[in-house]
Amino acid sequence: MADFVRTLSREVLNTGPNGAETREWLVANGLGGYASGSVSGAVTRRYHGLLIAALPAPLGRVLMLSQLSDVAIDADGRHYRLSCRDTGGDPGGGETGEEGQTAALQEFRMEAGLPVWRFRAGGAVIEKQVVLPHGQNIVHVTYRVMEAKAPVQLRLRPVLAFRTLESAVDRPLAGAYRITASGQQYEVSAGPDLPVLRMAIEGGDFPMTLDGGIRRDVYYRVEDERGYQSRGSLWTPGYFSGEVGAGQSITFAAATEDWWRLEALPPADVLGFEAERRRRIIQTAHPSLRDGAMAELVLSADSFLFVPAGRVADQMRARAEGDEVRTVIAGYHWFTDWGRDTMIALEGLTLATGRHLEAGWILHTFGHYIRDGLIPNMFPDGKDRGLYHTADATLWFFHALHRYLGVTGDRDTLRLLLPKLREVIDFHRRGTRFGIGVDPRDGLLRQGQEGYQLTWMDAKVDDWVVTPRRGKAVEINALWHNALRLMAGWLREEDGEAAARPLEELADQARASFNARFWCPSAGHLFDVVDGEHGDDIACRPNQIFAVSLDHPVLERERWEPVVETVRSRLLTPLGLRSLAPGCRDYKAKYFGDLRARDAAYHQGTVWGWLIGPYVDAWLKLHPEDKAGGRQLLEGFLPHLDEAGIGTISEIFDAEAPFTPRGCISQAWSVAEVLRCWVKTES
Q: How far apart are CA 50 and CA 142, in angstroms?
A: 12
**For 424, which DSSP code?**
H
Q: How far apart are CA 67 and CA 38, in angstroms?
A: 11
Task: Annotate 88-128 with DSSP letters as a single string.
Answer: T--TTGGGG-TT-EEPEEEEEEEETTEEEEEEEETTEEEEE
Strand-by-strand arrangement of the 163-164 sheet: 24-28, 34-38, 49-55, 60-65, 163-164
pLDDT tier at 3 (50, 70, 90 boundaries)? low
Residue-level pLDDT at 1: 41
Residue 277 has pLDDT above 60, yes or no: yes
458: pLDDT strictly greater than 90: no
Nearest by Cα to 673 from 485, 545, 529, 557:
545
Question: Does residue 302 have a pLDDT over 60?
Answer: yes
pLDDT > 60? residue 108: yes
pLDDT one-digit tens code per residue, 392-406: 999 999 999 999 999
Summarize the confidence of residues 280-301 as an average pLDDT.
Answer: 97
- Predicted pLDDT at 604: 95
How far is CA 188 from each of CA 171, 279, 562, rounded to the nearest angstrom?
Answer: 18, 35, 63
Q: How confident is the model at residue 85 (pLDDT cuts 50, 70, 90)?
A: low
Q: How many other C-beta atoms are found inside a 10 Å radius of the C-beta of residue 441?
A: 9
Residues 6+ apart with CB under 8 A from 155: 70, 71, 73, 96, 239, 240, 241
Give residue 280's pLDDT. 97
Cα–Cα distance between 542 and 655 in angstroms, integer? 13
Question: Cβ(331)–Cβ(47) under 8 Å?
Answer: no
Closest CA to 163 of 50, 46, 252: 46
Q: Centre a 10 Å sphere on the Cβ of residue 429 and count the other Cβ atoms it contains.
A: 18
Q: Is 10 helix (H, G, I), strand (E, B) or coil?
A: helix
Q: Which helix (H) or strand (E) covers residue 136, if one does?
A: none
Report which residue type is found at 431.
G
- The identity of residue 446, as a single letter, is R
Tallying the residues shown for the chain, one arrives at 683
The distance of Cα 195 from the centroid of its chain, to the nearest Å, equals 25
The angle subtended at Cα 645 by Cα 465 and Cα 601, nearest 5°, is 20
Q: pLDDT tens for residues 13-59?
A: 776 555 788 899 999 999 999 999 999 999 999 999 999 999 998 89
> For residues 605 and 598, is the Cβ–Cβ distance under 8 A?
no
Q: How far apart are CA 187 and CA 259, in angstroms?
A: 10
Torsion of CA 522, 527, 530, 535, to 10 degrees: -50
CA distance 647 to 544: 31
**Extended beta strands in 1-150, E state:** 5-9, 24-28, 34-38, 49-55, 60-65, 67-73, 79-81, 101-102, 104-111, 114-121, 124-131, 138-147
Average pLDDT, stretch 408-430? 97
Q: What is the DSSP string of 517-576?
A: HSEETTTTEE-SEEEETTEEE----GGGGHHHHSSS--S-GGGHHHHHHHHHHHTEETTE
Report the range of poorest mean pLDDT among 19-28, 542-551, 652-661. 19-28
Give residue 612's identity as a one-letter amino acid code.
Answer: I
3-state secondary structure of 177: coil
Place 565 in a pLDDT band, splitting at 50, 70 and 90: very high
In three state form, how does the secondary structure of 599-654 look?
HHHCCCCCEEHHHHHHHHHHHHHHCCCCHHHHHHCCCCHHHHCCCCECCCCCCEEC
pLDDT of 95 strictly over 70:
no
The enclosing H or E element of 417 equals: helix 411-430
Query: Of 385 and 655, which is predicted with more confidence?
Result: 655
- Residues 561, 563: Cα–Cα separation, whole Å: 5
Taking the C-alpha atoms of residue 160 and residue 170, their distance in angstroms, rounded to an integer, is: 13
Residues 179, 237 contacting (CB under 8 angstroms): yes
* CA–CA gap between residue 440 and residue 430 (Å, rounded): 9
The pLDDT value given to residue 104? 87
pLDDT higher than threshold 60 for residue 88? no
pLDDT digits (tens, 9 = 90+) for 161-216: 999 999 999 999 888 999 999 999 999 999 889 999 999 999 999 999 999 888 87
pLDDT at residue 18, as a whole number: 57
3-state per-residue secondary structure call for 206-264? CCEEEEEEEEEEEECHHHHHCCCCCEEEEEEEEEEEEEECCCCEEEEEEECCCHHHHCC
* Dihedral of alpha carbons 311, 316, 321, 326, sign: positive
Mean pLDDT calculated for residue range 228-236: 93
Greatest Cα pair distance, the chain, in angstroms, is 87
Following DSSP, what letter does each residue of 267-334 receive, concatenated?
HHHHHHHHHHHHHHHHHHS-GGGSSHHHHHHHHHHHHHEE--TT-HHHHHHHHHTT----EEB-EETT
Residues 6+ apart with CB under 8 A from 187: 179, 180, 181, 196, 197, 198, 199
